[in-house]
Amino acid sequence: MSSAIHVIDCGDALTIANVAAIHHKIQEALKNSSNIELAASDVEKVDTAGLQVFVALQKEVEKTHGQLIWKNPSDALRKAADTLGLTKCISLD
């Protein structure tokens, strides 16, 4: 597995409606790298399902001794993670 950083664009919504597409992007990225950067500056909508994907991603990255990096996480994403008590769990702190 490469130590290069794979960038995933989170788009503008992390919700149940698009969680399958995000999950697919993550699974493809993990085949090539254990270091994942999430471009999240455009995220406006977030729900629990969207955040659950990143909890699972954080666990997977930890297993492979990789790193989860957030690039400019939006206020909406930060607020949703904070409300659910997931800020530290998904390395958003």
pLDDT per position as a tens digit, 59-86:
999 998 999 999 999 999 999 999 999 9
| CATH superfamily of the 2-83 domain | STAS domain (3.30.750.24)
State pLDDT tens for residues 16-75. Answer: 999 999 999 999 999 989 999 999 999 999 999 999 999 999 999 999 899 999 999 999
Which amino acid, residue 85?
G
Q: List the chain domain ranges.
A: 2-83
